[in-house]
Amino acid sequence: MKNQIFSTPSLYIKQWGEQISKPELSLTSASRKVVVRFTGGCGSMSKEDAIGLYDIFVKAFDGFEGAILFGGSRMLKRFDPTEVVPGITEIPPLIKRNCPKSVILGIIPRFQELKISQHGLVVSDETGNDFFTIAHPDQGQCVVVQKSADEGVGVIPHLKFGGWEVEYLECQRIISDLISYAKFSSLLVSYNGGKVTEAEIVSTAERGWPVLLINGSGRKSDEYANNRKFLDKYPNVLVAEKDAESIREVLFATHVLKSEFQVFKSQKAVNE
């Protein structure tokens, strides 16, 4: 069996503001016209908040046939690269594995030179962290965003978080295109996360797009899930508890998943 840690996906490298159609159009091949964006905790998420994370979402999204946008990276322990650091970016590839009709696309901001290593394509290796970051090996394709061939996104002017928000801004651009030109619906799922996640939650809520906050996941997602003033202001922001059944109820309510009635109607049409 092939050792996945040594594989890398197909890469599309683009400049900030540049339009590229091929990876974006690949999302329209999904059986269901809905795009889910995952955001939240990565390297700063606590071990406690990561408990049960993967199983919860794999069970909640069982039967998913839409598209997913996420930060297409994986964190590996510096002194033991065989150990994967838990993070939100691990969820979409697991859902894809369980739901073969779904389509996933990773977005990676480039802050430094890309480096080939025995562990994969290294996209971030910050001193002071006990982990380094590679392009997630379990995705078919991903988009790397840079300012230019000479400079990464960290030097793009007018950004508040040193370029880290480029990931979600690029995802919002793609989602906007899918909504406008391909009649997709969307859902932002937020689990844990810090200040950049907070900015994405607020920005998406202000656009009027559906947002799902996971209560009990910690940090900013928890904070906004319990902010009654924020929830009252944005009725498009929904809350689910940190368990598969609660999340799944919202996925049915927002039509991210087919209801049993819809499945019955589809099967009936096939039989007739």
pLDDT digits (tens, 9 = 90+) for 18-44: 988 999 999 999 999 999 999 998 877
3-state secondary structure of 100: coil
Average pLDDT, the chain: 91
Using pLDDT thresholds of 50, 70 and 90, give the confidence band for residue 7. low
> What percentage of the chain reaches a pLDDT higher than 90?
81
> What percentage of the chain reaches a pLDDT higher than 70?
92
The predicted pLDDT at position 260 comes to: 59
The predicted pLDDT at position 5 comes to: 45
Q: Indicate yes or no: pTM above 0.85.
A: yes
Q: Which distant-in-sequence residues (6+ apart) come within 8 Å of 123 by Cβ?
A: 73, 108, 110, 111, 112, 114, 133, 134, 135, 144
Distance CA 238, CA 253 (A): 10
The predicted pLDDT at position 54 comes to: 94
Q: What is the mean pLDDT of residues 226-254?
A: 97
Least confident range of 43-47, 53-57, 191-195: 43-47
| CA-based nearest residue to 86, from 116, 121, 57 | 57
193 has pLDDT over 60: yes
46 has pLDDT over 80: no
- Burial code of 172-188, b = ≥16 C-beta within 10 A, e = fewer? bebbebbbeeeebbbbb
Q: What is the DSSP letter of 181?
A: H
The predicted pLDDT at position 2 comes to: 44
261 has pLDDT over 80: no
4-271 maps to which CATH number? 3.40.50.450
187 has pLDDT over 60: yes
268 has pLDDT over 60: no
272 has pLDDT over 70: no
Whether 85 contacts 76, CB under 8 Å:
yes
Q: What is the mean pLDDT of residues 121-150?
A: 93
49 has pLDDT over 90: no
Query: Per residue in 85-129, pLDDT tens?
Result: 999 999 999 999 999 999 999 999 999 999 999 999 999 998 888
3-state secondary structure of 25: helix
The predicted pLDDT at position 45 comes to: 79
- Both tokens of 192, joined, read 């844990």
Q: Which distant-in-sequence residues (6+ apart) come within 8 Å of 40 by Cβ?
A: 88, 189, 190, 191, 192, 193, 197, 214, 217, 221
| Selected residue with higher pLDDT from 269 and 144 | 144
Query: Per residue in 202-237, pLDDT tens?
Result: 999 999 999 999 999 999 999 999 999 999 999 999
Distance CA 201, CA 269 (A): 39
